[in-house]
Every structure is written in C-alpha cells, then in structure tokens.
Amino acid sequence: MPWSVGIRFAHAAVQVLADDHGVDLLHIKGPAVDESLLDHERHSIDADVLVRPAHVGRLIAAMHEHGWRTQYRFEDGSAFEHASTLVHPFLAPVDVHRRFPGIDADAEVAFERFWEERHVADLAGVPCAVPPVAAQRLLLIIHAARAGRLNHGDISRGWVAASEAERAAVVEVADAVAARVALAAGTGHLDEHIGAPGYELWKVLSTGDPSKAHLWVARVRAAPTRRAALRTAVRLLVPNRQRMEVSLGRRPTRREVVGAYFSRSRRGAREFVSTIRATVRERGGR
Amino acid sequence: MTTYSIPARVAHVVRHEGEPQVFLMRLPDGPPVVLEGTGATIWLLAVDGVDDVAAAVADAVGECREAIADDVEAYLVKLVEIGLLEVRSD
C-alpha cells in the first residue's frame, strides 16, 4: 500500500473512532491541507490530528482498543510535550496533538476557536473536520518557523503569496489564540516582539540555531512558570528511554542510559546550570 | 438492474497511474484491500451508479456482455459480501 494511501486511511480510521466515541478532533497538515494552499501533493510521514484536550484520553483509549500502540507519550516527544505518536500494524503513524507549539492560549480555548469555524474535507471518502483556512495558514507557517525553514513553501503560499485580506485573517486568528510571536517568527516580523514572552525561543527555533545550549536557554526562559521552567530544563537534560528504545530497536541498557546522560551532561552542563540559576532568580516571584 | 454505492464506513483511494487501482479499507480496523485492473474497473463502474456493470465492462474490454456477465455479477456479489460495496436501496 503506498504510504500516501496509508496516511489517508489513518486519518479516516481515526475520524471513525472519533465519531464512535464522541471525540472532537481536527485533521491538520498533510492531506488535510486546503487545496488553495497546495501546489503539489504533500508528502507526509504521519497523520496529524488536533484533539479537543478534554477528549484526548478517550481517543487514545479507543485507538488502543483498535490495534494502535503508543510509540511516544506526550512527555516522550518534543520539549513542548504537544503530541503523542501512535503506531499501527498497517496504517501510517498518527500524531495526536493536544496543543500546537506556538499557540500560547489555553489549549481548550484555542481548539474551540478553530472548531467553531471548522470545514469538512474528504479524506479517503470520509468527511473529516479541518480548521478554517486562515487557521491552516497559521499552523503551517508556525510549523515551518519552528523547524527553522523560513523559505518553506508553506510560508510562501500561506503568507508571502497571500492577499492583504488573507493575511489579516491569519493575524486575527493568531491574536485569538496568542500566536503572534510564532507567526512573526515565520513572517519576518519577529523583531517587533523583542522582549515578549517566547521571543527568544522563536528566534532560536526560526533561525535554525544549531546550538542545543541556546535552545535550552530559550526553552527554559519561555516556560510560563518556575515549575515549568525546571521541568523543561530537566527534561532536556535527561535521556529519554522511550526514544532510545525506538532508536536502538531494543530496551537500552542501564550503561547506555547512563552513557547518554553523561554525554548530554558534558555537552551542556555549564549552560544548564547557569540557565537554571538565572531562571530561578528571574522568576522567583512567579 | 441492481445499483451499488460505497458503504459509509469504507475508506477508499483511487489511483489512475496506468491501470486503475482502488485501495479500500473497512473502518476502523481493515484490513486494507487493493483492487487492480478489471477488478478496480468493476468497482468504479458500480459505485458510479452504472445500471449494467457487465455491459459497461464488456464494452471496455471488447467482449460481448454474455461472455463475462456471470463473472462480473459474481465479483459484485463478493464485494458486497465482504462489505466493500453495498446495494443501493433507492
């Protein structure tokens, strides 16, 4: 089965499970993208869905009952802990998003904003809810910005080639879901947000800064609370056993985990410690 | 004449690179099935609402209807039995 078919079938299967279990979800990226934002077929590696946060547990339980297995939990994924990856014996993997990096509004509020203006797209013959086109533009732009791919076609089509009215609609959505900094990172206006929460993180991400230490610093400083900052800092230091297991194809040995820990420690311990100290000092009152 | 439609819980993707291919999957569990060549053509004609699928297939492959009608009918029945096609009720 061609991969592109497996992705469409994964979207369709998840939609049916959502319908059966009363789960609200929106299909994003890949084949769910509106035709007006495409100039060729998108080549995806997985199917992405954004789920109403309160319904995430229900969806994942339903998927587990139908042959899906959690490969990465939310906490095994990126530092944003935004998505969990589920795999299936013959369908493409599904990334279940409980929020979208760059959107700082409460995840339930942001989901509802997209949900109330949803459209329906046909994926493998199954009606699937997708965000409104302006929100799709926003998601594609900030996703490309997060990957440091400012020349990506998603930004060209989603912003550069957009009309004034289309850009205004994107900005309106970004304002509604607190994504102006991330949007600015993707559209070349990040300097207008110097000093804003998240500015430093999106500068590092969108410029593709290869320094892991810089990314540590930026991610820790972007955390909304001291508790979150500490959690983020520790997460970025400690090797992830689940990712090591997938990479190795077996459970890592204690020696390998310890080796990875010290490898990370040597690379960034000095920056890590100074970052924690600085963050604690700066956020002492929060 | 019997007419057919796609069951609501069957995912389908059609590809036309060379011979037609129809990928089908009963949702949510599958397994996926691929129809190729004449099999894909029969499914496509059936879900397109063609009244006499055997005649349409015969026309497409340059045979007389009587020579293939039984085989086409048997194939359509099989597709219905395994849930990849349904008889239209209207």
Residue recorded with tokens 């599904």: A94
CA distance A123 to A129: 10
Question: Over 90: is that where the pLDDT of A252 sits?
Answer: no
Average confidence (pLDDT) over A248-274: 63
| pTM > 0.90 | no
Q: What's the ipTM?
A: 0.93
Predicted confidence (pLDDT) per residue in A124-165, tens digit: 999 999 999 999 999 999 999 999 999 999 999 999 999 999
CB contact under 8 A, A124 and B25: yes
Q: How many C-alpha atoms does A165 have within 13 Å on its Cβ side?
A: 1
CA distance A111 to A54: 10
Chain B residue whose CA is closest to A9: B11
Q: Which residues of A have a CB under 8 Å from any CB of B?
A: 1-2, 4-6, 8-9, 12-14, 16-17, 20, 66-67, 90-91, 124-126
E strand map for B1-90: 4-5, 10-15, 21-26, 32-36, 86-87
For chain B, first and last CA: distance in Å?
A: 12
Average confidence (pLDDT) over A25-40: 93
Q: From first to last of the 90 residues of chain B, give the pLDDT tens digit.
A: 789 999 999 999 999 888 899 999 999 999 999 999 999 999 999 999 999 999 999 998 888 999 999 999 999 999 999 999 999 876
What does the pLDDT read at residue A275? 56
B58-74 core/surface letters (b: 16 or more CB in 10 A; e: else): beeeeeeeeebbeebee
Residue A267 confidence class, pLDDT cut points 50, 70, 90 = low
DSSP character at residue A89: S
What does the pLDDT read at residue B34? 97
Predicted confidence (pLDDT) per residue in A47-56, tens digit: 999 999 999 9
Residue A270 confidence class, pLDDT cut points 50, 70, 90 = low
Tokens standing for residue A58: 């229900």
CB contact under 8 A, B27 and A2: no
pLDDT, chain A, mean: 87
Nearest to A159 by CA among A131, A140, A176: A140
How many Å separate Cα A271 from the centre of its chain? Answer: 25
DSSP character at residue A121: E
CA distance B59 to B65: 8
Predicted confidence (pLDDT) per residue in B69-87, tens digit: 999 999 999 999 999 999 9
